């Protein structure tokens, strides 16, 4: 066999191998996708009717959740007395976030859309007694907390030294070392995109303190955030005032 024929036979073998690998990877992805889909379908079939299945990550060491958004949704379900079960896993929603819920076979992503759906479907509006002006105030404070204070908390807990956050995670061994590290890498990218990650720690603390001060002044001596009765905004704020928020504050000041 001359050099040219040898080269072209090698070339054909390489192309053959590459094609075989592509086909095998395609088959593997297809099989994994089908298994996951059929598992999800099976799971959905097993869910009880008219019961919310709350998909969220596992419990924290000192609080129901390490994350504000699952706790917000779970608090709403409890306050509105909606039957629910927890499905603790790392499975994220179709939007790549936690929490999400399944209700009578329908998957809904995002705590706010879950609450909106249930409020409309079941008539469980926890804020129905507020005036339009009070609703606007509650809305503004909730957005400040979820879109500003939340990120300052992420920066302080997860963008630097991870010793503090490790001490409130319910893990041991390799998982306790790895999970905060992986989380930190995701959160750092998000913080940079959101903008808070571009500030110094002192500047971030200044922003966070401003938000906490505003919440504290408005709450004053009231029993709940908007008065004597608990409403939807309390579900969104309770994480920051609860044991986990305080634990973060204690550990980081
Ligand atoms: N707007 C969403 C926010 C949910 C959210 O940010 N969840 C965080 C946990 S606190 C998350 O899933 N982060 C994972 C990621 O972004 O990759 C909601 O209200 O549900």
Q: What is the pLDDT of residue 87?
A: 96
Q: 87 CB under 6 A from ligand 1?
A: no
Tens digit of each residue's pLDDT (9 = 90 or more) over 25-78: 777 777 667 766 656 655 666 899 999 999 999 998 888 998 999 999 999 999
Specify if 30 maps to a domain: no
**Average pLDDT, whole number, for the chain?**
89
Q: 74 CB under 6 A from ligand 1?
A: no
User: Do 136 and 224 share a domain, yes or no?
Assistant: yes
Q: 112 CB under 6 A from ligand 1?
A: yes
Q: Is the pLDDT of residue 253 over 50?
A: no
Specify if 199 maps to a domain: yes
Distance 247 CA to ligand 1 centre (A): 20
Tens digit of each residue's pLDDT (9 = 90 or more) over 68-97: 999 999 999 999 999 999 999 999 999 999
Distance 59 CA to ligand 1 centre (A): 16
Give residue for tokens 């928020």: 245
Specify the pTM.
0.82
User: How many Cα neighbours within 13 Å face the side chain of 43?
Assistant: 18
| 195-198 contacts, C-beta under 8 A, 24 or more apart | 196/151, 196/152, 196/154, 196/155, 197/155, 197/159
User: Do 189 and 115 share a domain, yes or no?
Assistant: no
Nearest CA to ligand 1 atom 19: 111
User: Do 191 and 210 share a domain, yes or no?
Assistant: yes
Q: 145 CB under 6 A from ligand 1?
A: no
Q: What range defines the domain where residue 67 resides?
A: 52-122
């Amino acid at each position: 066999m001359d050099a040219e024929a040898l080269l072209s036979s090698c070339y054909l073998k390489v192309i053959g191998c590459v094609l075989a690998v592509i086909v095998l990877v395609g088959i593997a992805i297809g099989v994994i996708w089908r298994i996951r889909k059929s598992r999800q379908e099976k799971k959905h079939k097993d869910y009880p009717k008219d019961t919310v299945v709350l998909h969220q990550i596992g419990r924290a060491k000192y609080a129901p959740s390490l994350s504000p958004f699952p706790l917000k949704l779970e608090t709403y379900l409890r306050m509105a007395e909606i039957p629910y079960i927890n499905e603790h896993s790392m499975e994220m929603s179709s939007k790549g976030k936690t929490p999400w819920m399944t209700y009578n076979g329908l998957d809904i992503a995002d705590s706010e859309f879950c609450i909106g759906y249930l409020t409309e479907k079941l008539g469980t509006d926890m804020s129905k007694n507020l005036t339009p002006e009070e609703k606007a105030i509650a809305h503004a404070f909730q957005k400040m907390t979820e879109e500003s204070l939340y990120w300052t908390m992420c920066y302080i807990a997860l963008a630097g030294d991870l010793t503090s956050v490790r001490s409130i995670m319910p893990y041991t061994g390799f998982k306790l070392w790895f999970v905060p590290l992986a989380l930190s890498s995701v959160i750092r990218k998000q913080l940079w995109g959101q903008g808070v990650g571009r500030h110094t720690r002192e500047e971030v603390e200044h922003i966070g303190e401003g938000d906490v001060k505003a919440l504290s002044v408005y709450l004053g001596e009231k029993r709940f955030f908007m008065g004597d009765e608990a409403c939807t905004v309390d579900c969104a704020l309770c994480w920051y005032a609860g044991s986990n928020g305080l634990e973060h504050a204690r550990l980081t000041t």
